[in-house]
Each structure stands twice: as C-alpha cells, then as structure tokens.
C-alpha cells in the first residue's frame, strides 16, 4: 500500500542554518504531496502542497519540489528561526485534483532551533 518515509529526528539546528527534511513516498497512482506542521500545543496545519510532478510548493520561506523520478518531496528552508521549532509531517493523498482527504502521513520529524 501507499506509504511515506521521512527522516527521523529530532533535528537540532542553530538559528539561520539551512534546513532539509527528507521525505520519500510509495504510491500506486499519482498522489498529491503535502507538508504539515504542528507547533507546540497546537493542531496540525498545512504548510505547503504540490499536486503534480515538478510542482514546487512554498510557504513561510519553506519549499518542497515534487520529484516523481526519485519519489521524493524534501522540505527545505534557507534560514531557520527559533519560531520554526515544531514537528513536521510529510503526507500524501491518492485523491485527485489536490484533494486532501485520506491523507497518509509519515512519522514526523521534530525540529528544534536554538538561538
């Protein structure tokens, strides 16, 4: 079945460091891909998404490119801030047209940014 694998954490970085969180997926069809973020004490929030190959999702300085050839959707940010400390989840949905029902999540990667 479909699955998502993301790098295990925790990841600890200094402020202004470059961030990469790896995510790869297995899917039978053509899924939409997502990154969700969960800040301490808050619910899951959609960070960015991409619905087809070579699409780049971006938000709040974060970017991820849908790479079909490597079945990857790595999350990157050029300069992290303390406020980016959170748990990041990669997810896919086999529904079409960017539908976000039936999300399949990775295990999450905890990011801690130190001042």
Residues that bind other proteins (CB under 8 A): 4, 41-46, 89, 91, 95, 97-108
Task: Please enumerate in sequence order all residues whose Cβ is within 8 A of that of 52, keeping only pairs 6 or more positions apart, or say none.
Answer: 30, 32, 66
Distance between CA atoms of residues 1 and 6, nearest Å: 16
Nearer to other proteins, 43 or 115 (CB): 43
Greatest C-alpha distance within the chain: 42
Residue 72 beta carbon to other proteins: minimum distance, rounded to whole angstroms: 17
Question: For the chain, what percentages of helix, strand and coil (3-state, to nearest 5) are there?
Answer: 5, 50, 50
Residue 44 carries which DSSP code? -
Nearer to other proteins, 41 or 115 (CB): 41
Residue 41 beta carbon to other proteins: minimum distance, rounded to whole angstroms: 7
- The dihedral built from the CA positions of residue 67, 55, 4 and 61, taken in this order, carries a sign that is positive
Residue 15 beta carbon to other proteins: minimum distance, rounded to whole angstroms: 27
Nearer to other proteins, 38 or 72 (CB): 38
Nearer to other proteins, 66 or 89 (CB): 89
Residue 86 beta carbon to other proteins: minimum distance, rounded to whole angstroms: 14
């Amino acid at each position: 079945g479909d699955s998502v694998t993301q790098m295990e954490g925790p990841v600890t970085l200094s402020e202004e460091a470059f961030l990469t969180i790896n995510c790869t997926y297995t899917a039978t069809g053509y899924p939409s891909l997502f990154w969700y973020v969960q800040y301490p004490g808050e619910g899951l929030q959609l960070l960015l998404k991409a619905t087809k190959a070579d699409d780049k999702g971006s938000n709040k300085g974060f970017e991820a490119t849908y790479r079909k050839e490597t079945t990857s959707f790595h999350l990157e940010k050029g300069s992290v801030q303390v406020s980016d400390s959170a748990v990041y989840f990669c997810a896919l949905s086999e529904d079409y047209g960017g539908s976000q029902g039936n999300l399949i999540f990775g295990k999450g990667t905890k990011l801690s940014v130190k001042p």
